[in-house]
Amino acid sequence: MTTNLIKYAVFLRGINVGGNKSIKMAELKKMFEDMKFKNIKTILASGNAVLETEKDPALEQKIEEKILKTFKMEVGVIVRPVSEIQKIVDAEPFKKITVTPLTRLYVTFLKEKPKSKLKIPYESPGKDYKILSVSDHEICSFLTLTPHHGTIDAMKILEKEFGKKITTRNWNTVLKILK
């Protein structure tokens, strides 16, 4: 019997941020092992994993339910085939951005199709945050850190415009998913 395993990236929303919703990556990996996933790798401590399993349209829901049962906390989960992550990287969404030590590049993953009426590309009033593109599945944006605006300000704009069923990753984290 042959099984067709698909490699997925799993993103957990809001864990291990500012001491909230603390989950050790070793415990998360064990939970995934208990779910019979294969080739599990956690990436950083911010709720990222790569694993293999058969195609399952209810995968996000099953992982959310298992996290609730295992860790007694509600955590939003967004799952993408690694092939989709590769397409984002291959599209080079930030190729025209001049990156400085104050630049932060982000990919925000969406759980559902966006309903935002924001005109894209969007630029914040202070011109320090820009949303470059929005698709049905992700948003590419970048921030220039200033004394008055940082990552939290950018996340507030994204949540206000796209809701809480999103999770954002730094571009370097997205690249680590593929390694």
- The span from the CA of 35 to the CA of 31, in Å, is 6
Domain layout of the chain by residue ranges? 5-85, 91-177
Kindly report, residue by residue over 93-112, the tens digit of the pLDDT: 999 999 999 999 999 999 99
Closest CA to 31 of 15, 17, 19: 15
| pLDDT for res 153 | 85
| Phi then psi dihedrals of residue 16, to 5 deg | 55, 35
| pLDDT for res 19 | 67
The DSSP result for 83-107, as a single string, is HHHHHHHHT-TTTT----TTEEEEE
Q: Write the CATH number of the domain with boundaries 5-85.
A: 3.30.70.1280
Radius of gyration from C-alpha coordinates of the chain:
17
Kindly report, residue by residue over 128-157, the tens digit of the pLDDT: 999 999 999 999 999 999 888 888 888 999
Q: Which residues of the chain have pLDDT under 50?
A: 1
pTM: 0.93
- The span from the CA of 156 to the CA of 85, in Å, is 24
Question: Reading across the β-sheet that carries 129-134, which strands appear in turn?
Answer: 122-123, 129-134, 138-144, 103-110, 166-170
| pLDDT for res 2 | 53
Runs of H (alpha helix) within the chain = 25-34, 59-71, 82-90, 151-162, 171-177
Would you mind telling me the total number of residues written for the chain in this entry?
179
| pLDDT for res 173 | 95
| pLDDT for res 152 | 84
Contact 168, 158 (CB under 8 A): yes
Closest CA to 15 of 60, 46, 61: 46
